[in-house]
Chain A
Amino acid sequence: MGKGENLGEFELTVILALLRLGEEAYGVPIAREIEASANREVGIASVYAALERLERKGFVASRRGEPTPERGGRAKRFFRVTALGLRRVRKTQRTLIRLWQGLRQLEGGEA
């Protein structure tokens, strides 16, 4: 596995938010989903930057929607996770769970 195929922390967060949102995911709901989970403000541009990296790696794919008047005639860009992306997330999940198991420092209460 090449270095470029790894998932960074924010990329993993974005891809998980995409999976939770399903097919109609674009910048605003993705950012809101991450904000609700992480309880902090997220830059929409940071979300797009992560999505572009993920698209280059082949982990997500995108399509442009129709322009809408409530967005000043600007179109949305919808994203979805690809099969390759899903396989990478599963692999990352398995790795993280294996690393988490048996860690006494993380058991019970807040660190």
Chain B
Amino acid sequence: MKAIPPTTATWMLKHLASAEGNEELEGDLLEEFQRRRSASWYWRQVLLAILAFPNASRIAWLTFWAAIFAAVWVSGLHTISSLMAHFRFQAAFGNWLDRESYGKTIWVAEGIAFYLAGPVTVYLALARNLSLRSLAVGVGVGVLTIFLFPLVQPHLYTPLSYFFAYALAKHWNVTLWLRWYDILQGSQAPVGIIPLLVAMCAASLCRTRSPKLDPKESPSDESKPAASLQENSTGA
């Protein structure tokens, strides 16, 4: 009976490996899979094929959606962990973050670094150009969007508006209100993907295109079938 290779792996091979020459490779993998009947072997071969012949545009799309998912997910986690850390700090050190100026500085720096890390990483991944210049452009895009977006919509963006609201809450000493604001921040955390999207647009505009392969050489006398290696090897 004919064995069927893992369908997910076959889907990945079809969609994530380059279309050029894919048919022969798919056929070879299917033929060899019928002999070996090993799913792990098939998976290894497919992953190697994606690495050797990546379909750049489809992988970029996959990265795009993975980055959005990661941004939403990590922003949520960040907010939750920040809240937990905040209340834990309050319990342990008696409102350490409020009292000590460096505590607030650390929090602000951590927030900005967190939101900057996403766009810069995605920009570098999509630009596929890990140079000092592209890093500088990525940081520039991240910084600009982080500082320009609150001007447009100040209450939607997390790190800056958070401290504005936090200062108000502290001034009024309304702990309960602060707690509600924290919950609200959790729901607004996905707004952090906006600098990410801007960085992605910048990346797609600045992307360095890989040079096209040389057109196939015209057949010449050099491409005639080779004779035996033995005929001239005696001179070695």
- Interface: A97 (CB within 8 A): yes
Query: Complex Cα distance A80/B222, Å?
Result: 12
| A84-B222, A86-B226 known; A71-B31 Cβ under 8 A | yes
Task: Please determine whether A27 and B236 come into contact, CB atoms closer than 8 angstroms.
Answer: no
- Residue of A with least CB distance to B22: A74
- Interface: B131 (CB within 8 A): no
CB proximity of B97 to chain A, nearest CB, Å: 53
Quick one: which of B24, B51, B221 contacts A48, CB cutoff 8 A? B24
- Interface: A8 (CB within 8 A): no
Specify which chain A residues have a CB less than 8 angstroms from the CB of B3 in the assembled complex: none
Kindly state the interface size class of chain A when it binds its partner.
35 or more
Task: Please determine whether B235 and A94 come into contact, CB atoms closer than 8 angstroms.
Answer: yes
- Interface: B48 (CB within 8 A): yes
Specify which chain A residues have a CB less than 8 angstroms from the CB of B225 in the assembled complex: 23, 80-83
- Interface: A34 (CB within 8 A): no
- Interface: A36 (CB within 8 A): no
Specify which chain B residues have a CB less than 8 angstroms from the CB of A56 in the assembled complex: 213-214
Task: Please determine whether A58 and B229 come into contact, CB atoms closer than 8 angstroms.
Answer: no
- Residue of B with least CB distance to A84: B222
- Interface: A2 (CB within 8 A): no
Task: Please determine whether A94 and B28 come into contact, CB atoms closer than 8 angstroms.
Answer: no
Task: Please determine whether B223 and A61 come into contact, CB atoms closer than 8 angstroms.
Answer: yes
CB proximity of A62 to chain B, nearest CB, Å: 9
Quick one: which of A43, A81, A93, A94 contacts B226, CB cutoff 8 A? A81
Query: Complex Cα distance A64/B20, Å?
Result: 13
CB proximity of A66 to chain B, nearest CB, Å: 11
Query: Complex Cα distance A89/B233, Å?
Result: 10
Residues of B within 8 A of A (CB): 17, 21, 23-32, 34, 41, 44-45, 48-49, 51-53, 213-214, 217, 219, 221-227, 229, 232-233, 235-236
* Known contacts A49-B52, A74-B26, A76-B24; 7 further A-B pairs (Cβ under 8 A): A27-B28, A43-B52, A44-B25, A46-B48, A83-B225, A83-B226, A94-B235
11 contacts between A and B (CB under 8 A): A23-B225, A27-B25, A28-B31, A49-B52, A58-B222, A61-B219, A72-B27, A83-B223, A86-B229, A90-B236, A93-B229
